[in-house]
Amino acid sequence: MKDHKNNSVSDRIREVCRYIEAHFSDPLTLKTMAEQAGMSRFHFARSFRSVVGVTPKQYLAGVRMRGLKSGLRDPQGVDAAIYDAGYGSPSRVYEQATTRLGMTPVQYRRGAAGVGISYATLETPLGTLMIAATDRGICSLQFGESGDELLERLRTEYPNANVEPMREPYDPQFAAWADAIVRHIEGEQPHLDLPLDIRATAFQLRVWKYLQGIPYGDVQSYSEVAAGIGSPGAARAVARACANNPVALAIPCHRVVRGTGELGGYRWGLPRKRALIDTERAHRVTAPR
């Protein structure tokens, strides 16, 4: 076990997040993770949720599901990808498919051609925001200047999908997502636990998975993210992955800045990036030391 006496609680939790990401295929338990942090199970569970915004179990489940998505992009069988991601059986994946993967493994592997997408636009403190979702999860979450611009962008991104406006009154689940997103923008809900239905390369998924582990209110440089995913020379590739993020906020690419401290890029505009960082810093809760 590491000597943690000089590390803050936040630092310990970050180390455990990295440990989970490197060992998600192992049978990790709360006891194992707590030992990695040098804490009791109760203190670890409470501190982890305070820093990360979800429970250790939820974080591990998310990492495993993203690992599965990455595996499905490789030329191996679906069952092999499932076992490599740490699932004991294919049935465990299908139980979670509607809430985490967004579609069954076979559907995801085929690229979801012809899938139905519903969308709606919201007016938020940061401008017009379009939420687009399949019946499995959010596939696009984007800011823009108008609903027409965002719709054109959505159709370009998913040319083979059946894109239609969300009928009112909105589905209760969709309405809950919208409420959570607005509360997040306003700093009232630090963690967004939204089911995502997105397509990505294996490298993009590695980057996006890492970004979801950056604590609320913190920022890291592109180089730090590259080092964190085990590719220290890939800072530019990390920047491209951030630029291709289709779901603002849910994958918090606004938490990545240049090594000089400058904001760097942001596909939805630097004023929005600055506003998001400032709001998070103003509302973050510091874990006890």
Beta carbons of 85 and 67 less than 8 angstroms apart: yes
β strands within 125-159, DSSP E: 127-133, 138-144
**Residue 247 in contact with residue 198, Cβ under 8 Å?**
yes
Q: Are 71 and 209 in contact (CB under 8 A)?
A: no
273 burial via Cβ count (<10 Å: 0-12, 13-18, 19+): buried
Cα→Cα distances 144→131, 154, 215, Å? 11, 11, 26
CA distance 103 to 32: 31
Question: What is the spatial distance between Cα 100 and Cα 80, in angstroms, rounded to a whole number?
Answer: 19
The full DSSP string for 155-191 is: HHH-TTSEEEEPPSSPPHHHHHHHHHHHHHHTTS---
Helix (H) or strand (E) run with residue 221 in it:
strand 220-221
> Is 253 part of the annotated catalytic residue set?
yes
Q: For the stretch 192-203, what's the b/e string if a residue is b when 16 or more beta carbons lie within 10 angstroms of its beta carbon?
A: bebbbbbbbeeb
Q: How far is CA 213 from CA 73, 180, 186, 239, in A?
A: 22, 19, 20, 17
- Catalytic annotation, pick one of 17, 139, 242, 253: 253
The backbone torsions φ and ψ at residue 226, rounded to the nearest 5 degrees and listed phi first, read -60, -45
CA-closest candidate to residue 253, choices 278, 221, 288? 221
Q: Catalytic residue positions?
A: 253
